[in-house]
C-alpha cells in the first residue's frame, strides 16, 4: 500500500509560537523542523509496521517544515511546485492520505496559532461546510476516491477532523488556551491572539503517532468503510470571508465550479 503524508508545522507539539518557530527568521525554526520531522518519522514507522510498501511525505508548510537529513530513510520527500496548487500532490495511485502537524481552521476556539492559509481569513465555506486546511486536503482526497485515515496535530484539529471525516484516527499533541469569536480583529491582531497552548512531551506524542498510524492502516485494511466523508456534491460554491486589513474593510469573495471540488480550490483566493 502507498501512503501520502501531508505535513504542516503549526500543529506540532513543542512548536510554541508562530514567529519564533515556523518561519526561517525565527530563533527556534531549526528546532521546529526537528520537532515536525520527529512526528512524521513516527507516522512513517507506524505505517511501515502495519505493512505499507511506500510512504511519501509532502512538506506542505509554506516555508518548509521537514529537515530532509532527519527524515526516516524509508520515506520519500516531496517538495517544490507541482502542476497545480490542489489537490496538494494527492493522486489516485495512493491508497490513503494522512496529515501530521496540522492546526485547526480559522475561528476555532482553544486552537493554537489558529488560521486558515494566513491570518487574514475568517472562514472558507463550501456548500455550507466550513473548512480549513484539513478540509481542503481531505475533500480533495475524497474527490479522488482516497480515504483520509490519520490526522495528527492539536486537539482542536482532531475534533475538526473527526467531525468532517468520521472514522479518521486522530492524535493530539497540544491544546490551545484561548477561546475565539475574534472575527472583528484585523489580520495583525489575530496573528498574535491565539499563541497560548498546553503541550504534551514530543517523545510522548511521537509514541502516540506511531501507534495511531499503525492502527489507522490496520483499520483501513480491515474495515475501509469505517472512513467516512461528508455529503458534498456538485455544483460547488466557495465563499471566503476575509478579515479587515489596514484601511481595507472585511469582505467576502464567492466562486463556483459546476463539477469539481479540486478545480474549485484551484481558483485563486
- Kindly list the residues in this chain that would bind Zn ion in the complex (CB under 5 A): 8, 133
DSSP 8-state symbol, 79: -
Cell 496529515 belongs to: 99
Strand partners, 3: 55, 96
- Closest approach of Zn ion to the CB of residue 104, in Å: 10
Whole-angstrom distance, CA of residue 250 vs CA of residue 58: 33
- Residue 234 CB, shortest distance to Zn ion, in Å, is 27
Q: Which residue is nearest to Zn ion (CB)?
A: 8
Q: Nearer Cβ to Zn ion, position 133 or 155?
A: 133
Beta carbon nearer to Zn ion, 1 or 269 = 269
With contact defined as beta carbons under 8 Å apart, do 98 and 165 qualify? no
CB of 252 to Zn ion, least distance (A): 22
29-49 and 202-222 helices cross at what angle (nearest 10)? 30
Q: How far is the CB of 266 from Zn ion (least distance, A)?
A: 18
Helix (H, G, I), strand (E, B) or coil at 192: coil
- 72 versus 154: smaller Cβ distance to Zn ion: 154
Minimum CB separation of residue 111 from Zn ion in Å reads 11
Q: Between 8 and 39, whose beta carbon lies closer to Zn ion? A: 8
Q: Could you give the count of Cα atoms lying within 13 Å of 45 in the half-sphere of its Cβ?
A: 14
Q: Rounded to the nearest whole angstrom, what is the least distance from the CB of residue 81 to Zn ion in the complex?
A: 18
Nearer to Zn ion by Cβ, of 61 and 219: the residue is 61
Sequence-distant (≥ 6) Cβ neighbours of residue 24 within 8 angstroms: 63, 64
Q: Which CB atom, from 115 or from 200, has the smaller least distance to Zn ion?
A: 115
3-state secondary structure of 177: coil
Q: Which three cell numbers stand for residue 107?
A: 475561528
Amino acid at each position: 500500500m502507498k501512503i501520502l503524508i501531508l505535513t504542516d508545522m503549526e500543529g506540532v507539539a513543542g512548536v510554541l509560537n508562530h514567529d519564533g518557530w515556523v518561519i526561517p527568521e525565527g530563533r527556534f525554526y531549526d528546532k521546529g523542523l526537528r520537532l515536525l520531522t520527529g512526528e512524521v518519522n513516527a507516522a512513517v514507522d507506524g505505517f511501515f509496521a502495519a505493512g505499507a510498501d511506500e510512504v511519501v511525505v509532502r512538506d506542505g508548510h509554506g516555508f518548509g517544515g521537514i529537515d530532509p537529513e532527519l527524515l526516516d530513510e524509508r520515506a520519500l520527500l516531496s517538495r517544490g511546485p507541482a502542476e497545480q496548487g490542489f489537490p496538494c500532490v494527492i493522486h489516485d495511485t495512493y491508497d490513503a492520505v494522512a496529515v501530521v502537524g496540522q492546526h485547526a481552521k480559522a475561528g476555532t476556539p482553544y486552537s493554537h496559532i489558529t488560521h486558515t492559509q494566513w491570518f487574514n481569513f475568517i472562514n472558507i465555506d463550501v456548500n455550507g461546510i466550513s473548512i480549513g486546511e484539513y478540509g481542503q486536503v481531505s475533500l480533495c482526497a475524497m474527490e479522488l476516491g482516497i480515504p483520509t485515515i490519520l490526522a495528527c496535530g492539536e486537539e482542536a484539529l482532531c475534533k475538526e477532523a473527526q467531525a468532517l471525516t468520521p472514522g479518521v484516527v486522530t492524535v493530539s499533541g497540544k491544546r490551545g488556551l484561548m477561546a475565539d469569536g475574534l472575527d472583528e480583529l484585523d489580520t495583525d491582531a489575530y496573528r498574535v491572539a491565539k499563541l497560548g497552548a498546553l503541550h504534551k512531551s514530543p517523545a510522548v506524542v511521537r509514541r502516540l503517532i506511531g501507534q495511531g498510524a499503525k492502527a489507522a492502516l490496520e483499520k483501513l485494511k480491515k474495515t475501509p468503510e469505517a472512513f467516512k466523508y461528508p455529503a458534498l456534491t456538485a455544483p460547488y460554491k466557495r465563499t471566503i470571508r476575509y478579515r479587515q486589513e489596514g484601511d481595507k474593510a472585511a469582505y467576502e469573495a464567492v466562486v463556483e465550479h459546476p463539477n469539481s471540488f479540486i478545480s474549485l480550490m484551484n481558483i485563486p483566493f
